[in-house]
Amino acid sequence: MNIAVSRVAVAAALLFTALPAAAQEADLVLRNGIIWTVDDSNPRAEALASLRDRIVYVGSNAGVERYIGPGTRVIDLGGKLVTPGFYDNHVHFEGTGRLLYGLNLLDVSDEPAFVARITEVDERYAPGTWITGGDWSAYEAWGEGEVAEAGREVNPDDLYGDFFLPQRRMIDRITADRPVLVRRFDRKVYLANGAALELAGIRKGTPDPEGIAVQRDASGEPTGALFNPVSGAVESTVLVRDNVRTLFDPLIPEPSREQRIQETLRAWQQMREVGVTSYCDITSAPVQVDIYRELRDKGQMTARVRYRPPLDRWESLANLGIQPGFGDDWIRFGAVKAWIDGIMGNSSARFYEPYTHNPSSRGIWRDIMFPFERSPENPEDMQSRLERLALEADAAGIQLTVHAIGDEANGYLMDMLERIIAKNGERDRRFRLVHAQVMTDRDIERAGKMKIVAEVQPFHTSDDMRWMEERIGRDRSRGAYAFRRLWDSGATVSFGSDSPGTNASRYYLNPMLGLYAAVTRKTLSGQPEGGWFPREKLTIEEAIKAYTLNTAYAGYEENIKGSITAGKLADFVILSDNLLTMNPDGIKDVRVLMTIVGGRIVHEAD
């Protein structure tokens, strides 16, 4: 338990329970509802009350009456369901904000839609800001997260394909004073407008830049289409040297602070609308923390954040005395993040055995594994750079979180954690196994024994099941997203989104998609009947807990958030339908009617 956090929660609870009844006029009262508290000592209630930013009462309609005064806002729930605010365990916040505020072309594969999206962003962006990214034709290639048949097969030997190919003539008039460099989903092809081409020195009569093929019209004028060299299919992936981005990177300025602020506000807007009241920021640049502080101080922050820098910065945290729970109720620190292998999407996740569809490959290890170094304690032992850094950070009391997808990657981390415990001793470390995507039976059992936190994103199940068995076969797929066995092993299963996802599929912030995936194990189109490996389903009650209290526990915050309990932060949501009793197939369509953060209504649906 985090002692500092625990003392705050206990003090708050004592303060509110010690007040005389006449003094407990609440700011906000919700009554006549179904309140699923995720508090085992008081699981269901009819009403609640909050004062300032804390919950002061959870109980019956009759009992809440004494908290209602002239200044109390009273909301009649009319039988609607209330749950704790959702806590997303894994958000690439910078990328999410950039996608939401910036350009999203994943579902674009024709000229009218392309022009319309570019026009929207041009009108929104400050003058001079580059328009970048996009990933056009992704859904044309992969489908939109529905069923495998919805997307066409991508042939690695068809190096450039017959996808939609935009031209600068489509947007030059709109963006005459703004550089544009947008890409296709696979980064083989880019589109630069006239302003960007001019800055790069690509004109009529000039030679193509080294390593880039410039498409030109009959007169020799560049059309804007730029092709990266492709070295062919290796280990089931098409290798692309992104020479276009290398050429343009020095020309593209870092986003301005104002741009980052607008992206931050847009991401928080999306979170409010889907009921996310807390999240873990995985990859943002350090400047983002300063923006968090600025917006917090201005009263504009509407979601609480736990920020995680990379593992190789652990010493900076330790030198500042940062431990889990460091910070305030809005911004917290104390954990670091590392990556050990690749991902399933491009078959780079690391497995003990070769991929079924490509027997020459077992996936990759990430750079942080190398070089292997001699152990200081025992020169005969060799340890990876990852393990050395993890041992040092753990010894300093910093929480470890490590990305692992394939079964060998997860197995290595289980082995590494055993060695860390042996060297640094037993303690409440709450090691976060990030994704825990494909695991052997032995490692699922070990995860429970070592009390790890399985930081999973359940919507991956709905997305990946469409092609998982083709990649690793039926038997290994049984260990994919094994939520039930992880839960029953004693591991803490924590849920999140992995927003914004990849260029083949977006993992939206909406917790309803994750809850749906966890309890049905179906694609968004409802396949397969009965669910994929249905024995791994969780109940809806368990899934809600994974998206609330368990993620709070994963961040040493279970004493201040994650359940609707007197003394905790007043973060909760009102939903359009009763998740507890409805047909699970409809969960993905449930809406958030109201989001309350710190006792303040930050979102109210029409």
Q: Pick the closest to residue 468 from 519, 526, 528, 412 (CA basis).
A: 528
pLDDT band at 24 (very low <50, low <70, confident <90, very high): confident
The percentage of residues in the chain with a pLDDT greater than 90, rounded to a whole number, is 83
Amino acid (one-letter) located at 322: I
Q: What are the tens digits of pLDDT across the range 303-348?
A: 999 999 999 999 999 999 999 989 999 999 999 999 999 998 788 9
407-424 and 385-395 are packed helices; what angle lies between their axes, rounded to 10 degrees?
40
256 vs 238, residue with greater confidence: 256
pLDDT at 378 over 80: no
pLDDT at 280 over 60: yes
pLDDT at 238 over 70: no
394 vs 507, residue with greater confidence: 394
Using the structure block, give the residue that is written with the tokens 């709109």. Answer: 174
Q: Is residue 588 within 8 Å of residue 512, measured between CB atoms?
A: yes
Mean pLDDT, rounded, for 554-581: 98
3 state DSSP class of 320:
coil
3 state DSSP class of 328:
coil
E-strand spans in 42-148? Answer: 44-45, 47-51, 54-59, 73-76, 81-84, 86-91, 131-136
Q: What is the mean pLDDT of the chain?
A: 91
Phi, then psi, of 198 in degrees rounded to 5: -65, -45
pLDDT at 2 over 60: no
53 vs 233, residue with greater confidence: 53
Cα of first residue to Cα of last residue in the chain, in angstroms, is 41
Q: Pick the closest to residue 439 from 421, 451, 456 (CA basis).
A: 456
pLDDT at 357 over 50: yes
Strands 222-227 and 213-216 come out as antiparallel
Two tokens at 480?
Answer: 């994919």
pLDDT at 531 over 60: yes
pLDDT at 152 over 90: no
pLDDT at 221 over 70: yes
How distant, in Å, are the alpha carbons of 82, 136, 330, 423, 503 from that of 500? 27, 15, 22, 37, 9
- Which domains, from first to last, does the chain contain? 1-85+563-606 (2.30.40.10), 130-251 (3.10.310), 258-561 (3.20.20.140)
Using the structure block, give the residue that is written with the tokens 């009921």. Answer: 275
Q: What are the tens digits of pLDDT across the range 260-271?
A: 999 999 999 999
Q: Pick the closest to residue 77 from 47, 33, 36 (CA basis).
A: 33
Residue 307: its H or E element? strand 304-307
pLDDT at 568 over 80: yes
Strand order in the sheet with 572-575: 44-45, 34-36, 81-84, 572-575, 592-597, 600-604
pLDDT at 75 over 50: yes
Q: Pick the closest to residue 488 from 536, 551, 533 (CA basis).
A: 536
Mean pLDDT, rounded, for 426-436: 97
Q: What are the tens digits of pLDDT across the range 594-605?
A: 999 999 999 999
Two tokens at 496?
Answer: 């999140």
Report pLDDT for 237.
44
Mean pLDDT, rounded, for 545-558: 98
